[in-house]
Amino acid sequence: MQMTGYTKLFGSIVASTIWREPHTVRIVWITMLAMANKNGIVEASLPGLADLSRVSLAECKEALAALMSPDEYSRTPDFEGRRIEPCDGGWKVLNHAKYRAKMGVDERREYLRIKQQENRAKKKTPRQQASTVVNNGVEKSTVSTHAEAEAETETDAESKEKKHSERGEKFAEWFKTLIPADSNLASSWKASWAKCFDDMMRLDKRTDEQIMSVCKWARSDSFWSSNFQSPLKLRDRNKDKVQYFDVFSQKMKAPAPNAPQKPATHIPRESTAEKLERVCITERQAQGKPLLTQDEAKKLGLL
């Protein structure tokens, strides 16, 4: 059976109640920790586990029964102190995720740094990928399958993570001035708001003037001022699948419900004489004639 598991062994195990158990129980437990995959699953049959633990079949059965029993003195009250439970294909280590999460940040960062160096070295010398010898001649230890996969996944995620722009950061800081100073914000508010601004500019084709105008309007609106506390709302969609940015834009253009109506401009009706005079003038202009003949002008005393 190929063992591909990996579990960080904490020194505090010697102070736990498991250390008071018979040596066969401790051996089976340590073996299961070493075999557990990233989800805490130990894939093995009872005889196979007994062989790997170097204990008899009866001793292995007794150890499993002890590990599946409640432990009132266990430091972990979860599952009543039980350490394992049967599952399809073997057993599950119940507190595996808890102890896996205890891996120190600095230790994890150092591990990822080393993995990145190894990956770069492999790309430069592809023929040496199968080699397990490092530069100082010491044989490199084999890292577990799931730990390598996790490290590579996190490394790729970090390299592919898109950084927000300075312009987006300034927008985030500006928007923060629009909301109450005592607002309860997430620790990543600046990064998420800045990315939202960048996405609106790049993906939604909004201008910064449009974005800021909509934000100002929504923050000053009697209804939305209490319901619009984050610019992330602008890219959300309502039940009609319309972005709230467009919803706010339409509301901005609509007249206020109680806005006073402008009085209609009164245009006086044209009298019959005025209409006749206008028609005559239009006809004379069309014929290229002067508006008044000399005789008409003399009669009016204009000449």
Are both 84 and 149 inside the same structural domain?
no
Residue, of 250 and 268, whose pLDDT is higher: 250
Categorize the per-residue pLDDT at 140 as very low, low, confident or very high, splitting at 50, 70 and 90. very low
**Within a 10 A sphere around the Cβ of 63, how many other Cβ atoms?**
26
Whether residue 107 is predicted with pLDDT greater than 80 in this model: the reply is: no
**Pairing state of beta strands 90-93 and 84-87?**
antiparallel
Distances 122 to 113, 141, 267 between C-alpha atoms, Å: 14, 16, 87
Are both 27 and 77 inside the same structural domain?
yes
E strands present in the chain: 41-43, 84-87, 90-93
Domain assignment present for 133: no
Domain assignment present for 217: yes
Are both 226 and 156 inside the same structural domain?
no
Are both 58 and 120 inside the same structural domain?
no
Q: What angle do CA 240, 246, 250 make, to 5 degrees?
A: 105
Count of domains in the chain?
4
**Within a 10 A sphere around the Cβ of 64, how many other Cβ atoms?**
21
User: What is the number of residues in the chain?
Assistant: 303
Domain assignment present for 146: yes
Are both 21 and 60 inside the same structural domain?
yes
Are both 18 and 79 inside the same structural domain?
yes
Are both 249 and 172 inside the same structural domain?
yes
Q: pLDDT by residue (tens digit) across 179-210?
A: 999 888 888 999 999 999 999 999 999 999 99
> Which residues lie closer than 8 Å to 129 by C-beta, 6 or more apart?
122
Q: Say which amino acid occupies 288.
A: G
| Helix axes 189-202 and 166-176, enclosed angle (nearest 10) | 120
Q: Which domain holds residue 303?
A: 274-303
Q: What pLDDT does residue 255 have?
A: 76
Task: Say what the alpha-carbon torsion angle 87, 90, 95, 98 is, to the nearest 10 degrees.
Answer: -100
| Two structure tokens written together for 252 | 């901005």
Q: Is the sign of the CA dihedral 66, 71, 75, 77 positive or negative?
A: positive
- CA nearest neighbour of 45 among 4, 94, 1, 85: 1
Are both 16 and 96 inside the same structural domain?
yes
Domain assignment present for 31: yes
Domain assignment present for 39: yes
Q: Which residues pair with 50 in a beta bridge?
A: none
Are both 194 and 123 inside the same structural domain?
no
Are both 58 and 117 inside the same structural domain?
no
Are both 20 and 67 inside the same structural domain?
yes
Place of tokens 């990928």: 129
Domain assignment present for 51: yes
- Find the mean pLDDT for residues 208-221: 94
Domain assignment present for 2: no
Q: What pLDDT does residue 137 have?
A: 47
Domain assignment present for 262: no
Distances 45 to 32, 203, 299 between C-alpha atoms, Å: 12, 54, 128
Q: What pLDDT does residue 134 have?
A: 46
Q: What pLDDT does residue 143 have?
A: 42
Q: What pLDDT does residue 201 have?
A: 94
Highest mean pLDDT (candidates 86-100, 118-132, 159-173, 214-228) = 214-228
Q: How far apart are CA 95 and CA 45, in angstroms?
A: 21
| Two structure tokens written together for 104 | 């120190």
Q: What pLDDT does residue 2 have?
A: 47
Are both 96 and 34 inside the same structural domain?
yes
H-helix segments, 36-95? 46-53, 57-67
- CA nearest neighbour of 91 among 28, 170, 6: 28
Residue, of 257 and 69, whose pLDDT is higher: 69
Q: Which residues pair with 237 in a beta bridge?
A: 243
Q: What pLDDT does residue 111 have?
A: 76
